[in-house]
Amino acid sequence: MSNPKHYVDNEKFFKEMKKWKQAVIDAREVDEPDPPSTEYMGECFLKISENLAWRPNFINYTFRDDLVSDGIENCLLYAHNFSPEKSKNPFSYFTQIIHHAYVRRITKEKKQMHLKYLHVERSGIMEQIDVSIEDNKRVTRRYVEYLKTHEKYAENPQPKKPKKRSKLEHFMK
């Protein structure tokens, strides 16, 4: 039995994944659709995703619910790729899947934030807010603070790294 502090019993999860994976293989041999994931697998995906969202590097995002749902969705999409012959640790396999889903969602949200900020900047709202600050300080001050905290996305969200050249490309140049 696993430690009671652990929220997913890795041995039971492995047995369940192994049984489900065999059912997938059997279904594919007779050209049937893949069987749905089991209730226990879904519970494990949910627990892993929710607990990973509480880690310090993900906890302060306002779109945490989206992170959790993206993680679960990716687990369901790629559960058939888990190989019991290669690994006996489905917990770590699905934790990595969920982590990568979180990183993709954060990148997507940062791009959206960048577009929102550029739209606000180009619409001229900032000039109107600066003029109206004296009129209604409390409401506009909050909005200005929000925009200033997200101002860093206006310059460049994340510059792309230049591609590394292969030895052949260096030779040809």
Note whether residue 167 is domain-resident: no
Note whether residue 127 is domain-resident: yes
DSSP state letters, 51-100: HHHTSTTTTT-TTHHHHHHHHHHHHHHHGGG--TTT-S-HHHHHHHHHHH
Note whether residue 66 is domain-resident: yes
* The pLDDT of residue 115: 85
- For the chain, how many structural domains are there in total? 1
Q: Which SS3 state, helix, strand or coil, does residue 30 take? A: coil
Note whether residue 165 is domain-resident: no
Residues with pLDDT less than 70, the chain: 1-5, 124-144, 146-160, 170-173
* The pLDDT of residue 122: 75
Range of the domain at 148: 10-158
**Which tokens hold the place of 29?**
């041999």
* The pLDDT of residue 39: 95
Tens of pLDDT, residue by residue over 41-63, are 999 999 999 999 999 999 888 89
Note whether residue 173 is domain-resident: no
Q: How many CA atoms lie within 13 A of 10 on its CB side?
A: 14
Note whether residue 4 is domain-resident: no
* The pLDDT of residue 138: 59
Residue 40 to residue 75: CA distance in whole angstroms? 13
Note whether residue 170 is domain-resident: no
| pTM as predicted | 0.72
